[in-house]
Homo-oligomer: A and B are copies of this chain.
Amino acid sequence: MIKKITKPAKVVKKDLNTEEKIISAARKLFTQHGFVATKTRDIAKEAGINLALLNYYFRSKEKLFDIIMAENMINFIQSIGVVINDKNSSLEDKIYAITNNYIDLLIKQPDLPLFVLSELSRHPDKFIQKLKVNEVLSQSYLIKQYNGAVLSGKIKDVHPIHFIANILGLTVFPFVGAPMLKNISGFSNDAYIELMLERKNMIPAWMKSILIADVI
């Protein structure tokens, strides 16, 4: 008699318990394909566990997803979060740190921003409130420094949300648009990563020039 064996899709990390195996597989698949495109059976297969264990440990697909979503959101904003309230670094230092953190993070996890932004778009309310990015950022030392520099005339008077949009646009967009930009440039994946590493030094210089550019 032939026994049907459900074997793990790839390498199931050893010395993880069942709960951790499921989280690990869910993290990978949800982040790669999003909520709707990820099937519970795919997660079970990837984790090398019985399908029923997913519900046994996490009640439902959605509850499991919420855990990964929260994880990924925090992950995504931490590149800014760890920097913004540092009293010992200049505005310029912070710009460098933010782009540097992001580029390192996104080279390791290129799917992260598209995942976070896609899922946020589908549930504008559900997740975004919890993080309180609003208060945390607007009360941050970074924004105080920015407004101070505006007042002292060191940089142009532009709403700080433009500043945030610009630094994220220059840093994160090349990863979100990677499939398109890789094709446009004809670069291989490795060459493209090299290009992203180049930007670690270029973006701070560009941001600096943006801050003093005459916009009227």
Q: Name A residues whose Cβ lies closer than 8 Å to a Cβ of B.
A: 33-34, 36-37, 111, 114, 116-118, 120-122, 124, 128-129, 133-134, 137-138, 158-159, 161-162, 164-166, 168-174, 176-181, 183-187, 195, 198-199, 201-202, 205-206, 208-210, 212-215
Contact B133 A202 (CB under 8 A): no
Measured between beta carbons, the chain B residues less than 8 angstroms from A111 are 121
Contact B165 A177 (CB under 8 A): yes
Q: Which 10 A-B pairs have the closest CB atoms?
A: A169-B173, A209-B213, A169-B169, A161-B185, A209-B209, A173-B173, A120-B179, A36-B37, A206-B210, A165-B174
Contacts A117-B179, A213-B208 given: A161-B173 contact, CB under 8 Å? no
Give A212's nearest chain B residue, CB to CB: B209
Give A77's nearest chain B residue, CB to CB: B180
Q: How far is the CB of A127 from chain B (nearest CB, A)?
A: 9
Give A161's nearest chain B residue, CB to CB: B185
Give A199's nearest chain B residue, CB to CB: B162
CB within 8 A of A117: which of B116, B169, B180, B184? B180
Contact A202 B162 (CB under 8 A): yes
Alpha-carbon gap, A214 to B204, bound state (A): 11
The copy count of this chain in the complex is: 2
Measured between beta carbons, the chain B residues less than 8 angstroms from A199 are 162
CB within 8 A of A168: which of B37, B164, B177? B177
Besides A134-B185, A176-B176, 13 more A-B contacts (Cβ < 8 Å) are A33-B122, A117-B179, A124-B179, A128-B179, A158-B202, A159-B185, A161-B181, A165-B174, A168-B173, A169-B177, A201-B215, A206-B210, A209-B212
Contacts A169-B174, A215-B206 given: A186-B117 contact, CB under 8 Å? no
Q: How far is the CB of A174 from chain B (nearest CB, A)?
A: 5
Contacts A33-B122, A206-B215, A209-B209 given: A134-B186 contact, CB under 8 Å? yes
Measured between beta carbons, the chain B residues less than 8 angstroms from A178 are 121
